[in-house]
Structure 1
Amino acid sequence: MESRVELFAQIRRDARVEGLSVRALAGRHGVHRRTVRQALESAAPPERKPRRGVSWRLEPFKPAIDAMLVEDTTAPRKQRHTARRILARLIEEHGAQGLSYSTVRDYVRVRRAQIDVEAGRRVEVFVPQEHAPGAEAEVDFGEVWIMLNGVKTKCHMFIFRLSHSGKAIHRICPTQAQEAFLEGHIEAFNEIGGVPVKHIRYDNLTSAVRAVVFGQGRKRTENDRWVLFRSFYGFDPFYCQPGIAGAHEKGGVEGEVGWFRRNRLTPMPVARSLEELNDRIRAWEVQDDQRRINDRIRTIGQDLAAERPFLAPLPAEEFDPGLVLNPRVDRSSMITVRMVKYSVPARFIGRRVRVSLRASELVVFDGRAVAARHQRIIAKGAQSVQLDHYLEVLKTKPGALPGSTALARARESGAFTSAHEAFWAASRRVNGDAEGTRELIDILLLHRSMDGADIEAGITAALGVGAVSADVVAVEARRHATNVSVGGAGSDRHHGAHDEVNVQRVVSLTQRRLMDPAAVIAGLPQDARPLPSVSVYDELLAKRNKHPDNASKENIS
């Protein structure tokens, strides 16, 4: 686009060279005659007058607005003027006309901050802080929404951030209860390889603080389990001021919550489980080690490597972050924890068991051994049922299996596969419903000691020759496991050796008899023996029929 300076130069040249009139010059250049006269008077275009908006209409009312904002400095926080309320009062009390909401809003936003500073309520000055390596960290929770297994779910993100290097650990939890709070600390300590030696900054979270003792500085009444935890790991807490006043005291982690949510969790992540999403987050954290924060010279990973030697070492043992409970097992072999039912092995019916309720799982103990493990469920009234916990009972009551909740849940989760279905159907046809189901249960019991892929391979091999025996499945599953461990999926063995592994080892003798000798199953020698005959026995029967009297005398004697 031609500038006004160039336009004025063209007009002056045409007037000088061609002697055109003002009207002719205006027509040639498509401008007003006033513009032509300005160009002929001066080569420099006149300065444009600033556009006068509607804000001038606010000038008579600014003193009234300032008075309302000054009044707000002593008013309760939730009863202060909004820009919309100020506009309404100007219209009602001062007869303001022609004022727009945006005009009032823009003035209030700037003027309120100035008045707060003048009243000593807000100081908009940030003093740069230095954090010694290995000394401090900050912790906070942030809300996030994810598509969890197809359902939009509200979750909570635990964040631990080292103040010196800026290294942050993020974990998505179903709740922000104390077990999630403690578990997040443990994983963060393990990830960074130590514990800050000075303190860790916190809000007044109920997971750590039972009550704020007002009038005594930062003194807090702490939760007993939290005191035990920080004593175990050897660090001190620093509690920020309650409410908005303390937000700036841990600004690093506050900013990290927003940054991670915008850059990693937008759009809303989709995952089948929280474990899957947290594994994805671990990979993102490794990528973030190459990031530089603001104008720092070194990356986060480089600063973390320099900070690690200054951290306190981790204790030799690990703290159990779970909430310990002792529910009783009901007649359905279920326990109730936080209004959710979980199954346990049937041998615990009527007993109390020790349960560790953790952030994302529930663990049931029999002494020190783990008796059951479930993914934690948040929905009230839900159930988590595992088929394995009922196998001993179903062995004696096989008719209860088809309609059982445990079987339905196993099918939904994919634990009860199409191979199991095929074996069950074949076994019931051959052995009957009860015995056929027991054979299936024997196969399900194999899962306690063998890999599922090996068992499925054993089922396929057995069904291939019409065998519906759990013993045959067990033998073939062990053989498959041995072959895989020797060869492996990625082995570079000779192709002939690999083919030998896949030779069918379960053999039906009836099938072998009926097959052509040239097509005998590989792995067995050809059977050249004659077919069995009963002709010899027929001869004996003939002799017996010829001498019936002698036979009767022998019987009498």
Structure 2
Amino acid sequence: MRVTLPVFLVEDGLVTDAQVRRLREKRMAGKTLAAAAAAAGMSERAARKWQSGPLPSTAKGPRWWRTREDPFADVWQSEVVPQLVADTDGRLQVLTLFKALCRRHPGRFQPGQLRTLQRRVREWRVQYGPDREVYFEQVPVPGREAAFDFTDLSDLRVTLRGVAFPHLLFEWVLSYSRWTYVELALSETFEALVSGLQGALWTLEAVPAVLRHDNLSAATHELRRSGGRQLTVRFRQVLDHYGLLSSRIQPGKPHENGVAEQAHFRTATAIEQALLLRGERDFVDEAAYLRFVRRVVDEERNAQAAARLAEERPYLRSLPAARVPEYTTFQCRVRKWSTIRVGGRVYSVPSRLIGHLVEARQHPSTVEVLYGGRVLCTMPRLRGG
């Protein structure tokens, strides 16, 4: 026995996109309007309206009314808005506001209402909040600029023969091609800076027009009267030797040196991942570790930069005839304790030199002692100077 179930037809306001699509499929198949409406589960009146035109979901207008009562209506003007007005930097987090309201009104607000407060604060800040800092897109020009900086890689937990090796990485990047040069450094000294800078230029075998950098103490000094910073005479001489111009960022604005900052993150990440694949973080010596780091940089950074570097090379300038010294010279009298003071640090030298005037050359990681133009001894440079 066949049982015919009642068909409940959907009226105009409840029609869905799926029903409209089925209605139109049936009409295209040659069904009458009544048959197509019945197949789609809607009335003929609704079918007549929806047999052409946009789908119901796209025909709805934006909702301007609230679907539920605002739980913050009573405290918005009296408690929330004054806090937002006082927050002239836009640093106050909505979660902090919500927790403060919960403490003042125990049991009144629920965790699920945080999103409502976030939406209301966002809308208020769009209309009345403080202006936000504007970042202008930097469009690199071939051959114009290179950026450099030091970054701390001690978090990589690298060791040399089992001994912890806290260190910095000097990183130099061409802004256009992203070609990268790196060197290890014990600290941000003038000698490490010049060594890294010249290492990059002579490896590249070319010179850009401008160097972008921050106000590191190895390159700048503070002006007593104005409180600003200016290039040191020594660093200016290095730049003049290569015909380079200096472009410095504002103090406390690291994003203005975005090329170097972004390179630091990507290089550190690449080294970390390579160490994980290697399975250990211990190296025989500093030279072996540097070879590892440079291999990672060449594979992960410079291989991808090769094509753009080829485009950039015609715009780069030639190197000068020679490098500048990468050390600082001190004239020292050997004291009766058989010591000399170099760069604010005390070093022991052979006792036969007591009373003699010697020349000390302070390199990025070593100190050489010379007498009569001959190197008598070489010592590791003490950190911090």
Q: What TM-score, normalized to structure 2?
A: 0.68
Residue 230 (structure 2) aligns with: 221
- Matches of residues 219-298 of structure 1 in structure 2 within 5 Å? 220-244=229-253, 247-266=254-273, 269-288=281-300, 291=303
2:101 to 90, 93, 97: 90
How far does residue 166 in structure 1 lie from its aligned partner after superposition?
0.5
Q: For CA contacts below 8 A with separation 6 or more, give which structure has more relative contact order.
A: 2
**Contact 2:173-2:180 within 8 A present in 1 as well:** yes
Cα pair distance change 1:106/1:91, threshold 3 Å: closer
**Contact 1:193-1:308 within 8 A present in 2 as well:** no
- Matches of residues 270-419 of structure 1 in structure 2 within 5 Å? 270-288=282-300, 291=303, 299-330=304-335, 333-337=338-342, 342-344=347-349, 347-378=352-383
**Contact 2:98-2:114 within 8 A present in 1 as well:** no
Q: Which letter does structure 2 place at the counterpart of 1:376?
A: R
Residues 122-163 of structure 1 show CA distances to partners (whole Å, capped at 9, x for unaligned) of 23x653x33222110111121111333334343222111111
**Contact 1:192-1:308 within 8 A present in 2 as well:** no
How far does residue 92 in structure 1 lie from its aligned partner after superposition?
4.7
How far does residue 212 in structure 1 lie from its aligned partner after superposition?
6.2
Instruction: Flag the structure with higher helix content.
Output: 1
Cα pair distance change 1:177/1:87, threshold 3 Å: farther
Residue 5 (structure 1) aligns with: none
2:171 to 159, 177, 183: 159
Aligned residues between the structures: 320
Residue 148 (structure 2) aligns with: 139
How far does residue 378 in structure 1 lie from its aligned partner after superposition?
2.3
RMSD in angstroms over aligned alpha carbons? 4.2
**Contact 1:195-1:233 within 8 A present in 2 as well:** yes
Residue 172 (structure 1) aligns with: 184
Q: Aligned partners of 1:259 and 1:354: how far apart in 2?
A: 42
**Contact 2:98-2:117 within 8 A present in 1 as well:** no
SS in 2 for 1:353: strand
Cα pair distance change 1:188/1:113, threshold 3 Å: farther
Q: What TM-score, normalized to structure 1?
A: 0.49
**Contact 2:167-2:184 within 8 A present in 1 as well:** yes
Residue 182 (structure 1) aligns with: 194
**Contact 1:69-1:112 within 8 A present in 2 as well:** no
**Contact 1:329-1:335 within 8 A present in 2 as well:** yes
Pick the structure with greater CA Rg. Answer: 1
SS in 2 for 1:365: strand
Residue 193 (structure 1) aligns with: 205
SS in 1 for 2:158: strand
Residue 205 (structure 1) aligns with: 216
Cα pair distance change 1:119/1:233, threshold 3 Å: same
Q: Which letter does structure 1 place at the counterpart of 2:264?
A: V
Residues 510-555 of structure 1 show CA distances to partners (whole Å, capped at 9, x for unaligned) of xxxxxxxxxxxxxxxxxxxxxxxxxxxxxxxxxxxxxxxxxxxxxx
SS in 2 for 1:283: helix
Q: Aligned partners of 1:138 and 1:43: how far apart in 2?
A: 67
Cα pair distance change 1:74/1:287, threshold 3 Å: closer
Residue 121 (structure 1) aligns with: 132
Matched, 1:107 2:114: no
**Contact 1:148-1:274 within 8 A present in 2 as well:** no
Residue 24 (structure 1) aligns with: none
Cα pair distance change 1:257/1:58, threshold 3 Å: farther
How far does residue 343 in structure 1 lie from its aligned partner after superposition?
4.9
Cα pair distance change 1:235/1:347, threshold 3 Å: same
Identity over aligned pairs, percent: 24
How far does residue 312 in structure 1 lie from its aligned partner after superposition?
2.1
How far does residue 58 in structure 1 lie from its aligned partner after superposition?
5.9
SS in 2 for 1:207: coil
Residue 526 (structure 1) aligns with: none
SS in 1 for 2:218: coil
How far does residue 100 in structure 1 lie from its aligned partner after superposition?
4.1
Instruction: Flag the structure with higher strand content.
Output: 2
Q: Aligned partners of 2:340 and 2:189: how far apart in 1?
A: 20
Q: Aligned partners of 1:135 and 1:113: how far apart in 2?
A: 43
Matched, 1:73 2:88: yes
- Matches of residues 434-513 of structure 1 in structure 2 within 5 Å? none
Q: Unaligned regions of 5+ residues in structure 2, if any?
A: 6-39, 43-56, 58-68
Q: Aligned partners of 1:104 and 1:270: how far apart in 2?
A: 48
Q: Unaligned regions of 5+ residues in structure 1, if any?
A: 1-15, 21-41, 48-54, 292-298, 381-557
Q: Aligned partners of 1:186 and 1:333: how far apart in 2?
A: 35
How far does residue 344 in structure 1 lie from its aligned partner after superposition?
4.2
How far does residue 177 in structure 1 lie from its aligned partner after superposition?
1.9
Residues 195-247 of structure 1 show CA distances to partners (whole Å, capped at 9, x for unaligned) of 212x111112112221269989xx84221211222122221111112213xx3
How far does residue 300 in structure 1 lie from its aligned partner after superposition?
0.1
Q: Which letter does structure 2 place at the counterpart of 1:370?
A: V
Q: Aligned partners of 1:354 and 1:259: how far apart in 2?
A: 42
